[in-house]
Structure 1
Amino acid sequence: MVNRLAHATSPYLLQHAENPVDWHPWGEDAFAEARRRDVPVLVSIGYSACHWCHVMAHESFEDEATARTMNELFVNVKVDREERPDVDAVYMNATQAMTGHGGWPMTVFATPDGEPFYCGTYFPRPQFQRLLHGVAEAWQNQREQILDQGQRVVAALSQPSPLDSAATPQPTIDAELLAVAHRTLYAEYDTVNGGFGSAPKFPPSMVLEFLLRHHDRTGRTDTSPLEVAEHTAEAMARGGIYDQLGGGFARYSVDEHWTVPHFEKMLYDNALLARSYAHLWRSNGSALARRVALETAEWMVRDLGTPEGGFASARDADSAGEEGLFYVWTPQQLRTALGAADGDWAATVFGVTEQGTFEHGTSVLQLQQDPEDVSRYQSIRQRLAEQRSARVWPERDDKIVAAWNGLAIAALSEVGALFGREDLVNAARTAARLLVDLHLRDGRLLRTSRDGKVGVNAGVLEDYANTAEGLITLYGVTGEAEWVHVAGQLLEVVLARFGDGSGGFYDTPDDAEPLFTRPRDPTDNATPSGQFAAAGALLSYAALTGSQRHRAAAHAALAPLPLLAQRAPRFAGWGLAVAEAFLAGPTEIAVVGQPGSPDREQLHAAALTCTSPGAVIALGDGHQDDGVPLLRGRAPVDDGPAAYVCRQMTCQRPVTSVEQLRRALVEA
């Protein structure tokens, strides 16, 4: 027996298709049914890789008695937060306002008009059963108070935020603002373990990008930004949050030492981190950063690549009903897999002990220092990976999300170009083709697809911004002008449909399904905020095209930065990184010459190693501009390849050698 979710495209919703709960997908039909029956709506929001979502599903949603109560007293709606980030955002704001915290699964009781009046997250089954009866009784006997509660919540959440552009003056983007952000971050820096704050610890990929750009823009006069980035990156790469066998990062560490992860592995984390480690290598030449960037990129392609050419969303934390079971080891398991001598050596190398670092005496693999016997280490690592592959694998959420594929396109383009891996660039190109051909319909992006079938949910701001960012980055690597033109089309939609009239952006377009409030949040979370991502893509597009309109829009979108730089720079890393690029120009590099010629390839490779924040690259033959204004009038020199280093379309004299280009980039 299946419910209404049986025809969903979301793997998360399909996980609940055989629940005895009479689930509805999100939509007007559910709320109309609640009005007809005169009952509240129970909105349950989660995602497929969420461990506690699985726990609550097993305890409550698969339980006949609990499901019967839910069906009798409520209209029940199941939402995949990754398909509907707008729905998730407005109810998360309500949950945090009512309870002081948030998380998933999110459990929201709402009126038939969608107004939330009671919110929470995970509830154990006995507590959840009592809650169901209590809410239903209050709906019958205290209706007026409940409706008033819902209206007051909506009114409060609809008030302007101090971060809204209408309440924020045109920002002053200067060196002092970014220095303030750096000082505030440094005060929160964990000098012992790396990262910021205490447990749980999330990979600060966007903050790492800011720190690297801050170091590069300030001319290396202050080494602390780079030192913080290096320390944090190494601590994560050597800890249990990094998969020492297969590559790729888990969602976060439950402890402050990066030892025990929450084992779900997300596309967006790994795309952002692969790019951050590549940029770290570009700044300091770290062999560890190079290895981790490549292994993470390879993991994305190998483990999340789909037959259609895109990238799946995530791997679950659980396998065979237990969190982390796929990843952890005991000393005896190592000896069984490798033999006594190699097993004991591997236990020492990877920090596997009899006491364990995780549950039931198991340990998460760590690599606190590189072993001296590299060949033995590589052999053992490969053998353990092969042994592990015979275990029950965590489930994969194979829906393709436009925003996260945009992040992956940017990462794979740069990692592939920097390290001479054309296969990674090709993977980025194939994913870009999928987004353009499948997700882009009549000039508008659709957010998700699965098995080659595009979904019905409209793209949100992060979809447009991150896809544009990925396509602009891919253009800088390949010189294929189509990508920058599509990016321009997407950014036109951003400016026409998402703006708030005061320089900021909503997270949904003006013709989106209306919710009880229109979501907007300029602060970073697990991914760059839509507003800051849009600012970055607008600035890069302006640098390639000379468009002052796009540059002005990027500047206006940075309006929340002065307040965030002082109070919460950890939640504005991407905006701060964009601000660094704004101050740096950004540097514009046009490389022209005969395609495929070794001299042009060498100039292009040198351009890619430019550490000036947010530098953009245009690549052409020097005879036609392909509709990219930065190439206009940039001709070869003496029939040979040349490079032009520019700021806001004003260029230095062309250079023809790698050494000259590097000097020009330092002087730019």
Structure 2
Amino acid sequence: MIYKTEQPEVERKPNRLIYEKNPYLLQHAYNPVDWYPWGQEAFEKAKKEDKPIFLSIGYSTCHWCHVMERESYDDEEVARLINDAFVSIKVDREERPDIDSTYMRACQALIGSGGWPLNIILTPDKKPFFAATYIPKESIFGRTGMLELIPRIKDLWEKNRDEVEKTAMKVTSSIREVYRGKPGEELDKDVFNMAYEQLLTMFDEQHGGFDDAPKFPTPHNLQFLLRYWRRTRDIIALRMVERTLTGMRMGGIYDHIGFGFHRYSTDSKWLVPHFEKMLYDQALIAMAYIEAYQATKDEEYGRAAREIFTYVLRDMTSPEGGFYSGEDADSEGVEGKFYVWTENEIRTVLGEESDLVKRIFNIEEEGNFREEGRLTGKNILHLTGSLSEIASDLKVPVDKLQKLLDDARLKLFTARERRIHPGKDDKILVDWNGFMIAALSKGAQVFNEPAYADAAQRAADFILENMHDSRGRLYHRYRDGELAVPAFLDDYTSLIWGLIELYETTFKVRYLQTALDLTTDQITHFWDNEHLGFYLTADDAEEVIVRKKQIYDGALPSGNSVAMLNLLRLGRMTANPELEMMAMQIGQAFSHSIQQVPSGYTQFMVALDFAIGPASEVVITGDSQANDTKAMLAALRQEFIPDKIVVFRPGEIELPEIIRLVEYTRYLSSTDGRATAYVCQNYSCKLPTTDTGKMLELLTTP
């Protein structure tokens, strides 16, 4: 949907956020609200002045965060009330997921739902007693406005402190209870069937995806379903994946001109997106398309993944090699303005070609979507059929239509580039970069594209060289030369995931070594020795109400789910059963929660699928530059065989570095100087083979 708000041209004096590096905080640096960053100074001031904390959490590409900032935080009257009643703290949820997840849970406990902007009122000792998401300046449509709400809360604080304290203690206790956890028994493959059945009941047969509106991509649902299909050969599971990926690619949630996916669809048809673009979506969605391409050999899925990478490498990559976090939904104060087109604009740019493009992308003179029941005159480019279907209707060869469309798209892209661009969140987050390193590495393997491997290596090297402190500990965020926020579990797990994929792409041993080193650090500082599983924060990090553990796989997969698969893969690679045992203990730690609603834990299901097996270990030996070695690797990478690890022992080196980490490769050698595959499955090894077809047969036959 498209909204417009006016921002007055008034010169402001900066508040203390002007000294921060975070883009979201800097967006609020000229508000008249007396903002503090999260830190001891703000809490000491609140205690000293006996004021509650007004905690506002959002992120730089959040549309409604911008709306609230323009309406209220940049308004002198509202700011005066806020400054009088509260000590105000501004937090970027992407930079401080520990704070965000804690108070999002509080919001859900207080009002039954959540979202961003997230506004929480706390006692000076960080206990929440009031929560809301977007709050208008003035009361409207039954939603209390800031001008009315702030005096009410101030009055409550001053006159009913006992009630406030009672609410704060109750909410805090409920949060602690949630994160205390309830371990259960070891899970088996019956839970796969439960997860599948639940996804099936939520599946939108007509448009793909799960549930109604708003509709999120949630690519780990699709990756689980691909594994379920491979395990059971249930064709419905594959159909759910294909219908969803096709619907997403055809819909307005996909940027057909500049590529990449918007964050979610506000309707059930994938037509009207929330226009922000997030790095993690590009990475996770690309991986789902790559796996679908491997499973079906449908070139449209491969093309979708490659187009996502084109967008990321063009628009989301820093000069140093790291990947930026996101792009805003808004430009010039209007959500989606950069992305939508009038029929006249299309005709002006394309001339005679416009009739064909208008037909393909469903461009209408009066617009193709409604806002408040009225057509807007604006068009969101989308498809209502596949390119082959459109080509058939037009009686044009598909390759010719594709060429015409590519040429027209380039002209539209060039014209769009002259528009004012949405803002870019140029901070570099380790966890989201880890996802993209993994995705690019997968893409490099499957599409045999060295540029993707090079980009993945540059990002990994940038993080490893720049985002450690003098102790070797990892940091979460980098921007403008500044490291900030000690790393969370998700930073470790996502980066390790990326490094494992990067090793299997380049076979550079240093990436596998670093993955193992980071795993050791992760276990040392995040593992719960008493109740099992990994905490979100390190043992020496700040505790916000409670030190929590997370397993739910929401918009992003949880750190524990990713850690489980990492441990299994590293355990198999290095023949370390202790890592595999720790992976199984993660399942045990959260099994009670998972059994309640398995469909909420699909990244965990991906890990459990590997754990239950049959999983395979493949060691390929041979001359790294020889054609037969390259051919064997290429054949292996084309197939959808997700539950495997791959190790390479270069035959041209007598004592290659890999044997230091993977001791069992010491005695493996090429047969008659030819590329040779050693395949083991379910802890049982087959005879080595130089025949690529035989290798694949061994991997696909239990």
Conservation of the 8 A alpha-carbon contact between 2:532 and 2:589 = no
Distance 1:621 1:452 in 2: 38
Residue 170 of structure 1 is matched in structure 2 by: 185
Conservation of the 8 A alpha-carbon contact between 1:260 and 1:358 = no
User: Could you list the per-position Cα deviations for residues 401-459 of structure 1 after superposition, in whole angstroms to 9, with x for gaps in the alignment?
Assistant: 1000000000000112211211011000111101111113323210010134322x011
Conservation of the 8 A alpha-carbon contact between 1:208 and 1:276 = yes
Residue 47 of structure 2 is matched in structure 1 by: 35
Residue 424 of structure 1 is matched in structure 2 by: 452
Deviation (angstroms), 1:562: 5.2
Residue 148 of structure 1 is matched in structure 2 by: 166
Single out whichever of 577-586 and 426-435 deviates more from structure 2.
577-586
User: Which of these residues, 356, 360, 363, is aligned with residue 345 of structure 1?
Assistant: 356
User: Which of these residues, 487, 491, 495, is aligned with residue 463 of structure 1?
Assistant: 491
User: Could you list the per-position Cα deviations for residues 578-633 of structure 1 after superposition, in whole angstroms to 9, with x for gaps in the alignment?
Assistant: 11111224321111212221111111112223423332111221443343326342
Deviation (angstroms), 1:248: 0.8
Conservation of the 8 A alpha-carbon contact between 2:679 and 2:686 = yes
User: Could you list the per-position Cα deviations for residues 135-154 of structure 1 after superposition, in whole angstroms to 9, with x for gaps in the alignment?
Assistant: 11111111122122111211
User: Which of these residues, 678, 689, 692, is aligned with residue 655 of structure 1?
Assistant: 689
Residue 394 of structure 2 is matched in structure 1 by: none
- The one-letter amino acid of 1:367's match is L
Residue 579 of structure 2 is matched in structure 1 by: 550
Q: 1:508 to 1:585 in 2, by over 3 A?
A: farther
Conservation of the 8 A alpha-carbon contact between 1:245 and 1:385 = yes
User: Which of these residues, 513, 534, 551, is aligned with residue 522 of structure 1?
Assistant: 551
Deviation (angstroms), 1:172: 2.5
- The one-letter amino acid of 1:640's match is R
- The one-letter amino acid of 1:231's match is R
Conservation of the 8 A alpha-carbon contact between 2:179 and 2:549 = no
Deviation (angstroms), 1:563: 5.0
Distance 1:610 1:582 in 2: 20
Deviation (angstroms), 1:650: 4.2
Conservation of the 8 A alpha-carbon contact between 1:543 and 1:649 = no
1:201 equivalent in alignment to 2:215: yes
Deviation (angstroms), 1:648: 6.0
1:93-172 correspondence to structure 2 within 5 Å = 93-126=105-138, 127-160=145-178, 164=181, 167-172=182-187
1:664 equivalent in alignment to 2:698: yes
User: Could you list the per-position Cα deviations for residues 310-364 of structure 1 after superposition, in whole angstroms to 9, with x for gaps in the alignment?
Assistant: 100000000111000111112111111111x322221111011224215522121
Distance 2:454 2:367 in 1: 45
Distance 1:539 1:520 in 2: 20
User: Could you list the per-position Cα deviations for residues 232-267 of structure 1 after superposition, in whole angstroms to 9, with x for gaps in the alignment?
Assistant: 110101111111111111100000010000000000
- The one-letter amino acid of 1:86's match is D
Deviation (angstroms), 1:565: 5.8
Distance 1:248 1:17 in 2: 30
Q: 1:201 to 1:514 in 2, by over 3 A?
A: same
Distance 1:185 1:426 in 2: 37
1:78-93 correspondence to structure 2 within 5 Å = 78-93=90-105
SS at match of 1:440: coil
SS at match of 2:519: helix
Conservation of the 8 A alpha-carbon contact between 2:215 and 2:267 = yes
- The one-letter amino acid of 1:509's match is A
Q: 1:437 to 1:626 in 2, by over 3 A?
A: farther
1:62-77 correspondence to structure 2 within 5 Å = 62-77=74-89
Structure 1 runs not aligned, ≥5 long: none
1:551-590 correspondence to structure 2 within 5 Å = 551-559=580-588, 567-590=596-619
Conservation of the 8 A alpha-carbon contact between 1:564 and 1:572 = no
Conservation of the 8 A alpha-carbon contact between 1:312 and 1:399 = yes
Deviation (angstroms), 1:214: 1.5
1:450 equivalent in alignment to 2:479: yes
User: Which of these residues, 457, 475, 490, is aligned with residue 518 of structure 2?
Assistant: 490
Residue 214 of structure 1 is matched in structure 2 by: 228
Residue 5 of structure 1 is matched in structure 2 by: 17
Distance 1:561 1:24 in 2: 37
Conservation of the 8 A alpha-carbon contact between 1:109 and 1:118 = yes
1:400-415 correspondence to structure 2 within 5 Å = 400-415=428-443
Structure 2 runs not aligned, ≥5 long: 1-12, 139-144, 392-400
Distance 1:401 1:168 in 2: 31
User: Could you list the per-position Cα deviations for residues 451-473 of structure 1 after superposition, in whole angstroms to 9, with x for gaps in the alignment?
Assistant: 34322x01111111111011001
1:363 equivalent in alignment to 2:379: yes
Distance 1:93 1:467 in 2: 26
Single out whichever of 470-479 and 354-363 deviates more from structure 2.
354-363
Residue 465 of structure 2 is matched in structure 1 by: 437
User: Which of these residues, 294, 307, 331, is aligned with residue 282 of structure 1?
Assistant: 294
Q: 1:433 to 1:585 in 2, by over 3 A?
A: farther
Residue 8 of structure 2 is matched in structure 1 by: none
1:336 equivalent in alignment to 2:348: yes
Conservation of the 8 A alpha-carbon contact between 2:343 and 2:367 = no
Conservation of the 8 A alpha-carbon contact between 1:105 and 1:121 = yes
1:602 equivalent in alignment to 2:631: yes
Deviation (angstroms), 1:34: 0.6
Distance 2:212 2:660 in 1: 49
Distance 1:241 1:543 in 2: 39
When normalised by structure 1's length, the TM-score is 0.96
Conservation of the 8 A alpha-carbon contact between 1:464 and 1:490 = yes
User: Could you list the per-position Cα deviations for residues 10-68 of structure 1 after superposition, in whole angstroms to 9, with x for gaps in the alignment?
Assistant: 11011111111111000111100111111111000000000000000000111111112
Conservation of the 8 A alpha-carbon contact between 1:217 and 1:613 = no
Single out whichever of 129-138 and 45-54 deviates more from structure 2.
129-138
Single out whichever of 209-218 and 58-67 deviates more from structure 2.
209-218
Conservation of the 8 A alpha-carbon contact between 1:543 and 1:586 = no
Q: 1:619 to 1:233 in 2, by over 3 A?
A: same
Distance 2:595 2:204 in 1: 18
1:248 equivalent in alignment to 2:275: no
Distance 2:478 2:367 in 1: 44
- The one-letter amino acid of 2:208's match is G
Give percent identity, aligned residues only.
36
SS at match of 1:559: helix
Distance 1:619 1:550 in 2: 21
Single out whichever of 12-21 and 46-55 deviates more from structure 2.
12-21
SS at match of 1:375: helix
- The one-letter amino acid of 2:526's match is F
1:629-644 correspondence to structure 2 within 5 Å = 629=662, 631-644=665-678
- The one-letter amino acid of 2:283's match is A
Deviation (angstroms), 1:203: 0.1
User: Which of these residues, 657, 661, 667, is aligned with residue 628 of structure 1?
Assistant: 661
Deviation (angstroms), 1:494: 2.3
Residue 395 of structure 2 is matched in structure 1 by: none
SS at match of 1:627: helix
SS at match of 2:432: helix
Distance 1:310 1:657 in 2: 40
- The one-letter amino acid of 1:207's match is N
1:326 equivalent in alignment to 2:338: yes
User: Which of these residues, 403, 409, 413, is aligned with residue 385 of structure 1?
Assistant: 413
Distance 1:33 1:66 in 2: 21
